[in-house]
Amino acid sequence: MIDDDGPVLCADVQDAGADPFCERPADRRYSVCRKVLGGCFRFESTSEALLDLVEAAYAGLPPHHFPIGEPEFRIELRLLPRQVFPLAVEPPPVRVQSGAGLLCGVMDASNYVVLAPEQHRALIVASEDMLGHPYHLRYELIEFAVFTLATRGLGLVPLHGACVGQHGRGVLLLGASGSGKSTLALHCLLEGLDFLAEDAVFVQPESLLATGVANYLHVQADALRFVDDDAATRWISQAPIIRRRSGVEKFEADLRQGHGRLAAVPPELVGAVFVSGQPADDPGALLSVIPRAEIAVRLRADQAYASRQPGWHRFEQRMMQLGVYQLRRGRHPRDAVETLRRLLD
């Protein structure tokens, strides 16, 4: 729902001397509220185009809740005039910095994020040029703010990985880029498992309840050779193509279009699986147990950022109690899905 409320951006160059920090209230402002990652996020802006990107990212998601409550976060989005020197084919990468209780992510002087985690607030500034780069604006500025505020405000452990489940139970899918996590997550979705996330998972370390943003699935074209469902093939192949910073191009398929089931509640983790690109020696035995003495080293090597967060030690302890596995490739991704299904039973 969009409503008019409160102060807005000082975008008029003529106002720069009178209001250099853009603090003066204006006449019109829009706001959107969305339940994301267990929190209530209010996005405010004078730009409907920026709020359209918020809706593209977070509208239609299952509202997840944690027993610890539902804090409110406020994010202001400001649109600046087009830059004199327009952006190149690809925006510059985000550089991060911190100090005085603030976290910053900066592309350039007209495109950046400033976060005050203790106040549950953030400011996102983008130039009109960035509207021509919706993927980067959505993922590297808006998502940066949402993920960071939720992680700090809810005490979650942020993991680079995927998560699928069934009957309120979930399993983490970990591994290096290119190991096949997204392809496996796709087939889990198509085979009826609940889909939580394919790239970023957030875990409450004590309860091991997990949440994520199930908005888009990113898969390369070669993943379609294993998809037998014609409707699913059309859904993916007709999706927009995005280009990662690495240069890899992937389909960005909207998961909210009804293909498969999104996790309605945060699943409780029953274990973690490192996905390997290597074929199994025995096609009937894809899963192997990682020795307990090796689990901590494997997890920390795979999750460099998360392993430095406050809740990591408890998360690591809990995963060692549950078990961590390695999953090698079978003849078809369905074989791996059935292996995960047995682990979830």
In the block, residue with structure tokens 């409450």: 204
pLDDT of residue 238: 94
- Give the number of residues written for the chain: 345
Long-range contacts of 21-27 (CB under 8 A, 24+ apart): 22/78
Mean pLDDT, residues 310-324: 95
pLDDT of residue 134: 93
Is the model's pLDDT at 13 over the cut of 60? no
> What residues form DSSP beta bridges with 288?
326
Is the model's pLDDT at 5 over the cut of 50? no
Mean pLDDT of the residues in the chain: 90
Is the model's pLDDT at 17 over the cut of 80? no
Q: How far apart are CA 306 and CA 117, in angstroms?
A: 17
Distances (CA, A) of 279 to 142, 179, 283, 338: 38, 11, 8, 16
DSSP string, 196-227: EESSEEEEETTTTEEEE--SEEEE-GGGGGG-
Structure tokens at 132: 């021509």
Lowest mean pLDDT among 9-13, 103-107, 166-170, 236-240: 9-13
pLDDT of residue 88: 67
pLDDT of residue 7: 33
The CATH code for residues 158-344 is: 3.40.50
Domain boundaries, the chain: 3-154, 158-344
pLDDT of residue 245: 84
Distances (CA, A) of 211 to 1, 49, 56, 204, 207: 23, 27, 19, 9, 12
Per residue in 18-70, pLDDT (tens digit) is: 777 777 656 678 999 999 999 999 999 999 999 999 999 999 999 999 988 88
Percent of the chain with pLDDT over 70: 92
Closest by CA position to 186, among listed 75, 310, 92, 275: 275
pLDDT of residue 50: 97
Per residue in 59-93, pLDDT (tens digit) is: 999 999 998 888 999 999 999 998 766 666 789 99
Q: Are 142 and 45 in contact (CB under 8 A)?
A: no
Is the model's pLDDT at 8 over the cut of 80? no
Percent of the chain with pLDDT over 90: 75
pLDDT band at 285 (very low <50, low <70, confident <90, very high): confident
Q: How far apart are CA 162 and CA 65, in angstroms?
A: 19
Is the model's pLDDT at 15 over the cut of 70? no
The contacts of residue 113 (CB under 8 Å, 6+ apart) are 94, 103, 104, 105, 106, 122, 123, 124, 125, 141, 144, 145
pLDDT of residue 311: 95
Q: How far apart are CA 282 and CA 145, in angstroms?
A: 45
